[in-house]
Amino acid sequence: MKPTILTKPMRKWAWLFLGPMLVCFGIGFVWPFLHGTYLSFCRFLLVRDAEWIGGGNYAAAFSDPSFRSAFGFTAVFAVVSVILINIPAFAAALALNRKFRGRNLYRAVFFMPNLIGGIVLGHLWSMIFDGILAGFGTSILLDAKLGFWGMIIVLLWQQVGYMMIIYIAGLQAIPADMMEAAEIDGASGSQKLFRIIIPNMMPAITICLFLTLTNGFKLFDQNLALTAGQPFIQQADGTTVRTTEMLALNIYNTFYSQGPSNRGIAQAKAVIFFVTVAGISLIQLVATRRKEVQQ
Amino acid sequence: MKEKRMGANRKRTIRRILLACLLVLLAAGLSSCGSGREKGRVYWLNYKPEIDPTLQKLAREYREKTGTEVRVITAASGTYAQTLIAEMDKSAPPTLFVLSNASDVQTWQKYAMDLRDTPIAGELSTDAYNLYDDAGRLAAVGYCYECYGIIVNPALVEAAGHSMEEIRNFDGLKAVAEDIHRRTGELGFDAFTSSDMDGSSSWRFTGHLVNLEYVYEEREAGKIWTECPPAITGAYLDYYRNLFDLCINNSLVAPNTLATGGHDAREEFVSGKAAFFINGSWEYDTISKAIPGAMMIPYYCGMAGEENAGLNCGTSNYWAVNASVSEADRQATMDFMMWLVTDPEASAEMVREVGVMPFRQAAPSENGFLKNAEEYTARGCYVMDWATNFQPNTDQYRAGLVSALNRYCAEQTDENWEAFRSAFVDGWANQYAATRP
C-alpha cells in the first residue's frame, strides 16, 4: 500500500479534526494570555476601558515588598511540597503495587482527597487544626510557621494519592522480564530500585515533579481558606507583610484593592508569575527528560 | 454518472439544511432585537445576601405586572467588589448597582449616571444620604438607612437582678456585664455573645465597633469627614479597647478561640444564651420574633459625656444607575426603582428588610432598633455618623485589623495592643497611599 493513500486524506481533513481544539486553545489560552499581557501595560478599572501607560506597572510590582515576600514564601513552599509529596507518593506506589487483598481499596482511599475542592479542604482542615491547636492556646492564624506547615499538610493530604496513581502506572510499565532478569542476576533490593525501577520510571517522575512544582507555585484555594495570609506583620514604615500570603493570593488581593492603578499592577504581577512558573517548570522538564531511558 | 448524481443530491440536501439553520438563527436574532429590547431591562446587582429572597420575590411581581425583564443577582457574602468588576465588564452589565461609600463613588463615578432631576431623586425625603461625585453630579442615592450599636435582651438583664436604668454609660454596662459573666453558672446565660474574627463576623468589630473611635476623632476636630482623611490619630483607641475587652472577656466563648470562628452569635442571642449582641438594625426582623423586647443601646466605651451618645446611624447602601447602558435600560431601571419606593406593598416589603427608606411615599418602618435611634435623637443625644464608611481600601485595611486582633485575643498584652494600634493608624495611612493613583 502506498503511503500517499493514507497521508492524502489525512492532510486534507487534518484541519477539521485539529480545528475545534485549536479554536478552544485560542479562546481559552492564547487570547486571554495576550490580552492579559497587554493589560499589564495598562491602567484600568474595567477591562474594556484600559488605557496604555507603559512599563510602570512592572516597576511597581517589583518594588512592592508584599510581592517579594510572597515570592520567597511561595518558592520555599513549592520546594518543600515537591519533596514531601513525591517521596511518600512513590513509597505508597511501591507498597500498593504488590499483590495483596484490598489493594484497590487502599488505592481508592489514598486517591479520594484529590476529589475534594481546595476551598472545602481548607475550611475542613482549618477546623481540624483549630481543634488541636486550641489545646496549646494558639491557632494557625497566629503563627506563620504553623500556617506554612498547615498548608503543606493539606496539600500533602490532597496530592499524595494522585501522584501515587501516576507512579503506579509507571511501575506497571516496567517490563516484567527486566525485573526477572535482575532477580536471576541476584540484584539486591536497593540495586533493583536505583538501577531498574527509578530509571524506568523517569517519565512518571517527570510528570509528577512537573505537577507538584507547578501546583506548589500556583496554590490559591487552600491558602485563601486556611490562612488568607495571616498573621500580618505591621512594619515600622507602615507597610504590612502578610506572612503566609502566596503569590496567587497576593495577585488576587492586589487586583481587588480599591483604585484603578492596582489592577494593572496585579496584571503585571500575574505575567511575572507566569514567566517564572513556566521557566522553572521547563528547566525541570528538560532536566528530568534527559534522564529518561528507552525501554 | 449515477455516483455523480448522488453526490449532487447530497450537496443540495446539505445546502438546504444549512439554509434552514441560517434562517432559524436570523429569525432568533431578529426577534431578540425586537420589542423586548426597546422596553429595556433591569439588572440589579445586590450586595446584601440577607435580602435576596425578598428582592427575588419583588422582581417576579414586577415582571408579572409590567412585563419588564427584571433580574436580581446577589453577590456572595464578602465578594461584592469582585463581582461588580466582573459584571460591569460584561456585554449586559448591571443597570442598577450598589455603592457603599465615598471612595466607591470616586472609583465608579464614570459609570454612575447623574441622578439629579430624575423622578427617583424627586422622591427623596432628604439629601442627607446622597453621594455626589467630583463634578457635583448626584452619583448615588441612599436607598435605606440603618443603625448599629449593642443589642440588649432586657429580660435577661432583669433576670440577673439589674435594670436597663443602670446602663447609661460604660461603667454601668461594665458592672452589669461582669456581674452576669461572673454568675453565668447560676443564671444559665452569659453577658456577651461570641465575637468571632472570621469573615462572617469580624466586620462587626473592624467595620462597626471601630466607628466609635473615628466618630470621636471627628468630634474632636469639630467636623464630619466628607472624604477619606489621609491619616488618623487613633487618639480614642483606648475607648475601643474598653468595650472590646468587655465583649471578649465576658462572653460565652474564650477569647483565644475567636480567630477561626465557628460560633453563631445571632443564634446565641435569640436562644437566650447571652444578654448583649454587637450588631445592627438589619437583625431586627429575626431577633424581634424571638425576643420581642429586644432593644439597642449606644456603644458605651468610657468617653466623657457618653450619657448623651446615640446610636450609629447612616447607610452604606447607595443606588447608582449604570450610565453606560442604553437609554431604554436606564429608564426601565428608574421605573423599577420608583415602583420599589412608591408602591405601598413593595415598599413595605423593602422597608421590612432594609430599615428606613428615605423616600416620600415609602412605607413607614416598623423596625424597633431604628425607633430606638429616633428616641435617642429626640432626647437630644448626638448621632454617631458612619465615619467607618471612609476606611481606605476597606477589605485590605480590615484584614490587617483582624490579624492584629487575633493576636490580641490570644494574648491580651499591651504589646499586642500596640501592634493593633499600628495596624489601625499606620495601616490607615498605608492603605490610603496604596489606593491613590
Task: Looking at the complex, report in whole angstroms how far the Cα of residue A95 sits from the nearest Cα belonging to chain B.
Answer: 38
What are the DSSP E strand ranges found in B179-251?
190-192
Amino acid at residue number A170: G
Q: Is the CB of B415 inside 8 Å of chain A's CB atoms?
A: no
Map residue B293 onto helix, strand or coil.
coil
Q: Which domains does chain B have, with CATH numbers?
A: 38-145+316-360 (3.40.190.10), 147-313+371-435 (3.40.190.10)
Residues of B with CB below 8 A from A138's CB?
256, 410
| Rg of chain B (C-alpha set) | 26
Cβ–Cβ < 8 Å for A87, A205: no
Largest CA distance in chain A: 80
Whether the bond between A88 and the residue before it is cis, its omega within 30 degrees of 0, is: no
The residue written with cell numbers 465575637 in the block is B195
Task: Looking at the complex, report in whole angstroms how far the Cα of residue B237 sits from the nearest Cα belonging to chain A.
Answer: 17
Per 3-state DSSP, chain A is made up of helix, strand and coil in percentages (nearest 5) of 75, 5, 20
Return the sign of the alpha-carbon dihedral for residues A35, A40, A46, A49: negative
pTM of the model as a whole = 0.84
This complex has an ipTM of: 0.79
| DSSP 8-state symbol, B194 | P
Q: Is the CB of B412 inside 8 Å of chain A's CB atoms?
A: no
Return the sign of the alpha-carbon dihedral for residues B142, B51, B288, B267: negative
pLDDT tens readout for residues B367-381: 999 999 999 999 999
Q: So what's the architecture of A57-290 in CATH?
A: Orthogonal Bundle (1.10)
The three cell numbers of residue A181 are 532478569
Which helix (H) or strand (E) segment is B70 a member of? strand B69-74
Note the pLDDT of residue B26. 54
Pairing of strands B41-46, B69-74: parallel
Note the pLDDT of residue A74. 96
The three cell numbers of residue A133 are 491547636
Interchain CB contacts (distance < 8 Å): A and B: 101
Taking chain B (437 residues) in consecutive chunks of 10 residues, what is each chunk's mean pLDDT?
56 64 54 56 92 94 95 87 91 94 86 94 87 90 93 97 96 97 96 92 94 96 89 96 97 89 93 96 92 96 95 93 96 96 93 88 91 92 92 88 93 94 93 80
Note the pLDDT of residue B35. 44
**pLDDT in 10s for each residue of chain A, 295 residues:** 555 666 777 778 888 889 999 999 999 999 999 999 999 999 998 988 899 999 999 999 999 888 999 999 999 999 999 999 999 999 999 999 888 888 889 888 888 888 888 888 888 999 899 889 988 888 899 899 999 999 999 999 999 999 999 999 999 989 889 889 998 998 888 898 988 899 889 999 999 999 999 999 999 999 999 998 989 887 776 677 899 999 999 999 999 887 778 899 999 999 999 999 999 989 998 988 887 766 5
Do you know the residue count of chain A?
A: 295
Cβ–Cβ < 8 Å for B134, B109: yes
From the candidates A44, A234, A245, A254, which should be mutated to test the interface with B, based on the most B CB atoms within 10 A?
Answer: A234
Please name the residues in contact with A210: beta carbons below 8 A apart, sequence gap of 6 or more: A281, A284, A285
Return the sign of the alpha-carbon dihedral for residues B123, B126, B129, B135: positive
Task: Looking at the complex, report in whole angstroms how far the Cα of residue B30 sits from the nearest Cα belonging to chain A.
Answer: 26
Closest of B230, B198, B142 to residue B398, by C-alpha:
B198
Burial state string for A63-92 with b = 16 or more CB within 10 A and e = fewer than 16: ebebbebbbebbbebbebbbebbbebbbeb
Note the pLDDT of residue A295. 56
Domain ranges of chain A: 57-290
From the candidates B396, B406, B413, B428, which should be mutated to test the interface with A, based on the most A CB atoms within 10 A?
Answer: B396
CB contact under 8 Å between B437 and A261, yes or no, is yes
Q: Nearest residue of A to residue B104 by CA position? A: A258
- Give Cα separations from B141 to B105, B126, B367 (angstroms): 11, 10, 21
Residues of B with CB below 8 A from A230's CB?
399, 402-403, 406
Q: How far apart are CA A46 and CA A38, in angstroms?
A: 14
Residues of B with CB below 8 A from A66's CB?
none
Task: Looking at the complex, report in whole angstroms how far the Cα of residue B431 sits from the nearest Cα belonging to chain A.
Answer: 9
Q: Nearest residue of B to residue A253 by CA position? A: B396
Provide the Cα torsion A90, A94, A96, A98; round to 10°. Answer: 170
CB contact under 8 Å between A256 and B430, yes or no, is no
Note the pLDDT of residue B1. 47
CB contact under 8 Å between B402 and A230, yes or no, is yes
pLDDT tens readout for residues B197-229: 988 899 999 999 999 999 999 999 998 888 889
